[in-house]
Amino acid sequence: MKQSVKLIAGNWKMHGLSSALSEAQALKDAVAASQPACRVALCPPATLTDRMSRTLSGGGVELGGQDCHEKVTGAFTGSVSAEMLADAGATLVILGHSERRAAYGETDADIAAKVEAAIAAGLEPIICVGETLEQREAGEAVAVVSAQVAGSLPDGLSERDFAVAYEPVWAIGTGLTPTLEQIAEVHAAVRAAMVKRLGETARPAPILYGGSVKPDNAAEILATAEVGGALVGGASLKAEDFLKIVNAA
Ligand code: 13P
């Protein structure tokens, strides 16, 4: 399992037309010039996967999808399988993002099935967990996140490369972030839940933090205990901003 280096992944969500490939090219060039100590990845919308894989080819930026279907093929209009993402050049895939849990009703069991599909296709899953504001205010953050880890990670996962991303729902796209103490507390709980679920072999898998990571807060977040990288939304759309986060790792 790859683990000693941090992973900084950009989630473009539903942003990005052909013209945005220039940002991927700029990031590739900057990563080639600065040789960062971390792994760097971009997860564009599915329509850009193939072209971005050509843009990023031969460079130091990895490519991921944002979701996949649990089945390999079938009558699932509008869906993209893990095998299709891999065929288009992706090596990673984000699964169980809170936006999909909330807007599409994805359950832990759905996400575990998608993780199995991703693994079968040779993709490295980034499995997202995180509490809502209501759950945090009720003192349930650790319990909610621990249960999501227990339910979303399938058996045998720790034999493969994977990451978990802790993204508090209330910190996504809001400019709000937890305190460093809160991040450390939840990351410790996520690690404990991963080890309880999969055993000691899950210890090397990185736990990314996501939710309003910006150039000006990245260094302190990335230096926090058990933070093995970042999953970045808005600040990953422009190579210049994203590179500052990469260089803070
Ligand atoms: P923002 O960085 O825009 O808050 O988004 C975080 C996120 O949801 C990444 O998956």
Task: Report whether residue 234 contacts ligand 1, using a CB cutoff of 6 Å.
Answer: yes
Nearest residue by C-alpha to atom 5 in ligand 1: 233
Residue 202's alpha-carbon distances to 64, 162, 191, 221, in angstroms, are 22, 9, 8, 22
pLDDT digits (tens, 9 = 90+) for 216-225: 999 999 999 9
pLDDT given for residue 3 in this prediction: 58
**Burial letters 62-81, b for 16+ CB under 10 A, else e:** bbbbbbbbbeeeeeeeeebb
Task: Report whether residue 41 contacts ligand 1, using a CB cutoff of 6 Å.
Answer: no
129 contact partners, CB below 8 Å, separation of at least 6: 96, 145, 148, 149, 152, 164, 165, 166, 167, 190
pTM of the model: 0.98
The whole-angstrom separation of Cα 242 and Cα 230 is: 11
167 is catalytic: yes
| Distance between Cα 212 and ligand 1 center (Å) | 6
Task: Report whether residue 218 contacts ligand 1, using a CB cutoff of 6 Å.
Answer: no
- Ranges of residues in the chain whose predicted pLDDT is under 70: 1-3
How crowded is residue 111: how many other Cβ atoms within 10 Å of its Cβ? 26
User: In degrees to the nearest 10, what's the CA dihedral of 56, 57, 60, 66?
Assistant: 50
What is the CATH code for 10-20+31-248?
A: 3.20.20.70
pLDDT given for residue 4 in this prediction: 72
| Distance between Cα 69 and ligand 1 center (Å) | 22
Residue type present at position 137: E
The number of the ligand 1 atom at minimal distance from the alpha carbon of 235 is 2
Using CB atoms within 10 Å of the CB of residue 160, give its burial: 0 to 12 exposed, 13 to 18 middle, 19+ buried: middle
82 contact partners, CB below 8 Å, separation of at least 6: 65, 68, 69, 72, 93, 114, 117, 118, 120, 121, 123
H-type alpha helices, the chain: 21-34, 49-56, 82-87, 98-103, 108-120, 133-137, 141-152, 180-198, 218-222, 239-248
Q: How far apart are the first and last CA of the chain?
A: 20
The whole-angstrom separation of Cα 209 and Cα 227 is: 6
Q: Whose structure tokens read 């699932």?
A: 76
pLDDT given for residue 2 in this prediction: 55
| Distance between Cα 116 and ligand 1 center (Å) | 24
Token pair, residue 49, equals: 């996967």
15 is catalytic: no
Which residue in the list 69, 83, 97, 99 is annotated as catalytic?
Answer: 97
Strand-pair category, 229-232 with 92-95: unpaired
Best mutation site among 7, 232, 237 for ligand 1 pocket (most ligand atoms within 8 Å of CB): 232
How crowded is residue 94: how many other Cβ atoms within 10 Å of its Cβ? 26
What is the CA angle 67-48-163, rounded to 5? 35
pLDDT given for residue 90 in this prediction: 98
